[in-house]
Structure 1
């Protein structure tokens, strides 16, 4: 029963992750906690290279509230002096008690490990990251507080850098599940989920707007029947609403977003119709100014 629960949990993780980063998002590497930068061009001659100022919002604090406005918990992020790398994140209760903290370690510009500790500093888990020669993440290994492997993830890419395969392994490196991604050029169109034996257990189909932003994701079971649909609404090229429904149209969850002047999310509201609950996330930032020369 424990193995079955683990498999169901993993499958849910695989499917839900497909929608986290739409293909329209830049593939440029960002430090954890870093939002998509907004470019503000300085006046230059048209024929000459231009120097642009890039404002990069960095998540500093997140407050989680209940529907009545009461604080549930909050987290605080800390960066290095130049605001280039996220060093740690601490999660506190509404009363200010430290609940959990995450510490990040780097090798050059690459994140190599994330360590989770409880409020007393005891290590709960460590996630190590491995890269290929192109700087693409090809492996993640999750260890418990004693250094024993709990699970692992392996990623494969095509020549253009598109992720085409995601394997999930257990603590003994046995294959538990695998997702295969299918593209039309550089545009993700389909994903197929398989179990450890290679048997198909589900699939998803991705639909886009004429502008190329993700419009919807439709999920199917192994028999090809629709199980869930996710739809995305945009305003001024920014995602403002996610709606998750059953195949019959019953709304399961609505997530809405509000933004600041630099494109950073200021507020996220999660309305869970199944659980009949609502959570509100409020974000605060620090900002880094980068200079880039473009033609």
Structure 2
């Protein structure tokens, strides 16, 4: 009976979608209560899981480089709960896995945009995880989360509000992976919708996309990779004469067949983890040199 109760408590903990008390206390001390509330997102409501991450107490070790998961539109941190479960199964602890939610997870994507407030929130989360763990951070960004996080890392000014974000945070990121990322925008993106406007949007010719994709060097982290699907009808394939899901200046690109936008995230999870493991084990070499080093799934083409 005692064992059953213990297992039930552990199951309840792993299913939680908010920060630990230890991480919350750190956020309040370091940044204030407003930032703590902004990042934890309890306003998402019960069962919506607006965030996760943090140590249980001061003695809880962080041995691996922390991973920050960044969701896409029409989503929230909970989209990565299966990732958290799988990463823990593969040797991570809950103190090494983090996520927050921007937006409300329910707005129709056509009525939303790549707002400065989203970019600032992800930038703040990256800074917080780095300061809390004392380590550079790995990032896995999904869908629109790619555009939001890339701008958060690049810094400079927001296009929609003119607010100054600050200097680049490239030095805080070890490995940056996009999955079904809007790296060149969306193939079908009518300008009449806020998400596809000419300023800070996912239109391939928006000011935001032009800035992100005109950088001469990799700025997302020490290493960067993209995973995209030929059958992704949400992102599409061709954006202003570029492959929509391909990340400029990447170390490697992984093209997948027979996966839609939603299954791409879950069905390439072993590849995502393999990329993190390889780059975490590197010292001076920051490129993937052998496809055999990656535990890739079937029907994945490497370039």
TM-score, normalised to structure 2, is 0.30
Q: Which gives a bigger RCO, structure 1 or 2 (Cα 8 Å, sep 6+)? A: 1
Which has the greater radius of gyration?
Answer: 1
More strand by share: 1
* Structure with more of its chain in helix, by fraction: 2
